[in-house]
Amino acid sequence: MSDTYFLDLKFLASGHADEDELEAKLEEILEHLCDLEGAIDPDLTATLATAEVMFSLGIEAKDNLTALRDAMVLVRTAMHACGAGTPEESWGAMFQEIEQNIRRADATELVDA
């Protein structure tokens, strides 16, 4: 049986010439993330001046570790689709993970309004 987990994954982005370039890249990443199967209501917030980026999304999973793994795979897939390389290339250089929060949804959050 699966539960719904909500995750916030915070990254520090680097390698962008300016805030406009970062904003455009983040919009592109979010578009790809929204198209990926398994990502529930993805969103992002960013402080462009400091290049801090928070991806928020829901995941159906059997436990919080599986939810974290699946969320990281989805975010990484969206980033990779936009030109952020793999760990061997530039994943770590372009987006360094600095924080993560995971919580299981309660029943009231799962009822359609």
Q: Tell me: the pLDDT tens digits for 51-90?
A: 899 999 999 999 999 999 999 999 989 988 987 654 555 5
Q: Evaluate whether 7 touches 70 at the Cβ level (below 8 Å).
A: no
Q: In the 8-state DSSP scheme, what is residue 107?
A: G
Count the Cβ atoms, other than its own, within 10 Å of residue 106: 9
Inform me whether the pLDDT recorded for 112 exceeds 60: no
Q: How far apart are CA 13 and CA 97, in angstroms?
A: 9
**Does the pLDDT at position 91 exceed 50?**
no
| Cα–Cα distance list, 13 to 3, 21, 46, 55, 95 (Å) | 30, 11, 10, 12, 5
How is residue 109 written in tokens? 């959050």
Q: Which residues pair with 53 in a beta bridge?
A: 11, 46
Q: Return the CATH number of the domain spanning residue range 3-105.
A: 3.30.70.100
Q: Tell me the C-alpha distance between 76 and 71, whole Å.
A: 8
pLDDT for residue 111 is more than 80: no
pTM: 0.79
| Mean pLDDT estimate for the chain | 83
Give me the pLDDT at residue 96, please: 60
